[in-house]
Structure 1
């Protein structure tokens, strides 16, 4: 997987899970959540905890991170090469 580390827009379902990824001006409906985990953040650098998702769309596999602390930004961490 290739590191991206870009802030992105994500629409979430009623359960708070990612439903649509908007990246580089393209809308990517999420077909499946392949994995989900929680990362505590690098506390020594002041990073907030985050929820992480490995998702599959019709055109890409991506790792999304959602910050637990406000403003609750979404990050595209990595995409499949």
Structure 2
């Protein structure tokens, strides 16, 4: 997996799972959530907890992180090379 660390736009299903990933100018429909976990963050460095998803979105296999605070932000953290 290749590190990316870019803020992205994600739309959600009614159940709160990723439905669409928009990265740059391109939209990727999420076909499957392959894994989901909660990361507590390194609190001693000021990191906030986040929900993490490994998704198959179009031709991408991508890891998405959603930060709860201070605002609901989504990050594309890694993509499969």
TM-score (norm 1): 0.96
Gaps of at least 5 residues in structure 2 are none
Tell me which stretches of 4 or more aligned residues in structure 1 moved more than 6 Å.
Answer: none
User: 1:9 and 1:53 mapped to 2: Cα distance?
Assistant: 14
User: 1:18 and 1:57 mapped to 2: Cα distance?
Assistant: 9
Query: Aligned residue for 1:77?
Result: 77
Tell me the number of residue pairs that the alignment of Structure 1 and Structure 2 aligns.
81
Query: Aligned residue for 1:56?
Result: 56
Query: Aligned residue for 1:4?
Result: 4
Cα RMSD after superposing both structures: 0.7
